[in-house]
């Protein structure tokens, strides 16, 4: 079989028969056979040292990830139960992977219960592979392999060897159908834990990964998008991540519900999404609200939920929801208002709100009542600042947390406590949305008598937050110091400082801090979260000029030839600069969706008729610059994030995770990176 290269998409093709020479499963004979023929979604993405192959067909949705290099890895992740199986190999000579076309497979465990997954031929160019570790569990457990010193009890699994085949198989910790990984050596030789290459220097494997977790129900093409699209890469990624139960945040590392990712993606994709997809996404958020109305950040399901409960001595697989973030609480209202008050959404809004939420937390609650619970939380949390504006009454991180917004790596806020994006953009946007929803009359059946006065203040509160919160984050850097800092920062990183210095205008540099400390001191990092204000707010002319100035050449601004970085610490002390490097998850790196957010926000502001001509010209210039780098980075557009390198006077993209110094790796398929299906370049 030839290696499968490039990007290949197949729809409606029939699955080929899968035959294995071995039988296995801890003394029980169980055969793997092809899954029934069904319409298939199959595509491949190579990014740096990672080769990704995606398959969705019938009951199967699976993602193969092969890591090349001196620390090879092979894993298959499943949206079903957010589960996965993986092999880690010993450090050694560099290995280069290739893969054939994946096929759906199904089998039975030792008790006759169904397992679903994929089978694929893979090849490794290298002298040998020595198996170091196998993990069959939740994706969270696989994801934490890099930092975990030991596996949770009961998860470690030993292989069963039969001829040239190794099989790892076990039930889930609670006895539910579990997981299976089969590796059959088809070229080369198996010697214990060592797989030796053949005379041609290649190792050929047939790999089959299966899970017993309950399959999700995909949204069909007609339920997902309103019309055909030309960007097949983004479409395929979105299709792989979209299900009736929820939208997945990204694959392989986030193969389940995340509130922020769902809400931001739906907001930007709304013009092209079909109504069933929007309804499903919003319903998934409403179903996971806390009793107080907080939006769930993440869910633990499958074996991760079992592990969570076991820590408390409880035997259960009930989903566990996490509410440690703060930004998501203020993202639901703008989404709900944008949809329910739109011409498309308004027609079915009353029926939608009257329907039951479902799910374990709100089984007998209507969607309207659940939405009002969130709006009530938003309004009450915003009241203290509205009564007496000041730093101490901003929305801060929850106790014990070092993160609370999308920059959730722990150091992404530079030690700040009050995030700019939450307080300057999302809180006022949520308050304004609550006011619009209340004025529409749609909420009337779900409001308590005591709610009316509170909701009546929403519009005034929104205006006050928009006026009073952003100035608290203002940073001013004298021109001489700015030029000196840019020159030194660029020299330390091998960047030509001249384009950045030439872009500086006379006078001080003004921008909004990434966050404020508990005492109100600014974390003086230039940042991309002004995109939220562009999308949700109505900044005055002076504010728009300063936002447009962020698209100056790096490090005077955020723009590089490899994209718009999400953070620029050029004016920070060295201790803070060290947190924002090209290897940091939220450092001087490029996130695809943040570029899209900024682009969508600029387009929205340029629709205004009250802008002075000089401000409109600055926004258009910023828009042209941004879209130039978006076009230049199109090849990685659907990825989660990427880094960059600078050589010979040019920036070049570098896949995040391709360096051992990178904090983690980037997902090849990310939900909010598909938003370019709706966020499109301007026509001048």
For 287, the token pair is 């179903």
**What b/e string do you get for 78-107 counting C-beta neighbours within 10 Å, with b at 16 or more?**
bbbbbbbbbbbbeeeeebebbbbbbbbbbb
CB 434 within 8 A of CB 379: yes
Question: How would DSSP label each residue in 152-204?
Answer: PTT-----EEETTEEEEEE--TTSS--EEEEEEEEESEEETTEEE--TTSEEE
* pLDDT (tens digit per residue) in 14-57: 222 233 333 333 333 344 555 445 589 999 999 999 999 999 99
* pLDDT in the model for residue 249: 98
- Reported as type and span, the H/E element at residue 289 is none
Per the CB < 8 A criterion, the answer to whether 63 and 52 are in contact is: yes
Domain boundaries, the chain: 33-211, 478-677
The pTM score is 0.93
Question: What average pLDDT does the structure give for the chain?
Answer: 93
**For position 146, what pLDDT does the model report?**
85
Residues 635-655 have a mean pLDDT of 95
Q: Answer yes or no: is pLDDT of 480 > 80.
A: yes
> What is the distance between the alpha carbons of residues 487 and 573, in angstroms, rounded to a whole number?
15
How far is it, in rounded angstroms, from Cα 181 to Cα 76? 9
Is the omega angle on the peptide bond into residue 555 within 30 degrees of 0, that is, cis?
yes
CA dihedral 318, 323, 328, 330 (to 10 degrees): 120
Over residues 132-159, the pLDDT tens digits come to: 999 999 999 999 998 888 999 999 999 9
Query: Is residue 570 pLDDT above 70, yes or no?
Result: yes
Tens of pLDDT, residues 210-254: 999 999 999 988 899 999 999 999 999 999 999 999 999 999 999
* pLDDT value at 10 more than 70: no
Higher pLDDT, 360 or 214: 214
């Amino acid at each position: 079989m030839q290696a499968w290269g490039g990007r290949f998409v197949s729809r409606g093709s029939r699955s080929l028969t899968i035959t294995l020479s071995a039988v296995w499963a801890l003394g029980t004979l169980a055969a793997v056979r092809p899954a029934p023929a069904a319409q298939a979604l199959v595509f491949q993405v190579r990014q740096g040292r990672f080769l990704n192959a995606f398959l969705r067909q019938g009951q199967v949705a699976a993602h193969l990830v092969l890591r090349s290099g001196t620390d090879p890895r092979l894993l298959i992740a499943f949206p079903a139960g957010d589960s996965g199986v993986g092999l880690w190999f010993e450090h050694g000579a560099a290995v280069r992977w290739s893969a054939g076309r994946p096929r759906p497979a199904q089998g039975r465990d030792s008790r006759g219960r169904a397992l679903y997954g994929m089978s694929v031929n893979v090849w490794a160019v290298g002298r040998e592979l020595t198996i170091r570790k196998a993990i069959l569990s939740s994706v969270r457990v696989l994801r934490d392999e890099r930092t975990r010193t030991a596996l949770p009890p009961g998860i470690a699994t030993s292989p069963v060897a039969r001829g040239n085949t190794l099989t790892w198989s076990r039930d889930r910790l609670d006895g539910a159908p579990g997981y299976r990984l089969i590796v059959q050596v088809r070229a080369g030789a198996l010697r214990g834990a060592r797989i030796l290459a053949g005379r041609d220097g290649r190792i050929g494997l047939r790999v089959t990964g299966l899970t017993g977790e309950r399959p999700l129900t995909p949204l069909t093409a007609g339920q997902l998008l309103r019309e055909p699209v030309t960007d097949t890469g983004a479409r395929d990624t979105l299709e792989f991540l979209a299900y009736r139960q929820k939208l997945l945040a990204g694959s392989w590392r986030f193969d389940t519900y995340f509130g922020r990712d769902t809400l931001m993606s739906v907001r930007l994709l709304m013009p092209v999404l079909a109504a069933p997809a929007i309804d499903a996404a919003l319903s998934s958020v409403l179903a996971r609200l806390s009793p107080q109305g907080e939006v769930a950040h993440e869910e633990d399901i499958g074996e991760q939920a079992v592990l969570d409960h076991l820590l408390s001595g409880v035997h259960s697989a009930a989903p566990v929801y996490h509410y440690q973030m703060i930004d998501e609480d203020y993202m639901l209202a703008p989404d709900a208002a944008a949809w329910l008050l739109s011409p498309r959404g308004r027609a079915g809004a009353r029926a939608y709100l009257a329907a039951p939420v479902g799910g374990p937390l709100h089984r007998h609650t209507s969607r309207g009542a659940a939405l009002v619970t969130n709006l009530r939380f938003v309004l009450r949390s915003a009241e203290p600042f509205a009564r007496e504006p000041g730093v101490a009454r901003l929305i801060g991180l929850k106790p014990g947390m070092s993160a609370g917004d999308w920059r959730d790596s722990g150091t992404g806020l530079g030690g700040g406590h009050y995030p700019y994006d939450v307080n300057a953009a999302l809180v006022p946007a949520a308050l304004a949305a609550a006011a619009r929803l209340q004025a529409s009359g749609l909420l009337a059946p779900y409001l308590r008598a005591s709610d009316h006065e509170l909701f009546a203040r929403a519009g005034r509160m929104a205006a006050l937050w928009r006026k009073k919160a952003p100035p608290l984050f203002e940073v001013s850097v004298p021109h001489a110091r700015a030029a000196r800092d840019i020159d030194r920062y660029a020299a330390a990183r091998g960047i030509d400082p001249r384009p950045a210095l030439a872009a500086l205008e006379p006078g001080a540099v003004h921008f909004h801090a990434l966050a404020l400390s508990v005492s109100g001191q600014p974390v003086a990092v230039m940042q991309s979260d002004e995109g939220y204000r562009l999308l949700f707010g109505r900044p005055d002319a002076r504010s728009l000029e300063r936002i447009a100035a962020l698209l100056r050449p790096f490090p005077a601004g955020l723009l590089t030839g490899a994209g718009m970085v999400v953070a620029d610490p050029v004016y920070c002390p060295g201790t803070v600069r060290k947190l924002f490097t090209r290897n940091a998850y939220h450092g001087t790196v490029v996130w695809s969706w943040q570029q899209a957010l900024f682009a969508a926000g600029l387009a929205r502001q340029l629709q205004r008729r009250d802008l002075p001509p000089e401000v409109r010209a600055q926004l258009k210039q910023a828009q042209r610059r941004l879209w130039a780098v978006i076009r230049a980075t199109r090849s990685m557009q659907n990825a989660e994030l990427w880094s960059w390198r600078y050589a010979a006077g040019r920036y070049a993209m570098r896949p995040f995770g391709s360096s051992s110094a990178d904090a983690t790796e980037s997902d090849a398929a990310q939900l909010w990176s598909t938003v370019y299906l709706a966020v499109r370049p301007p026509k001048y």
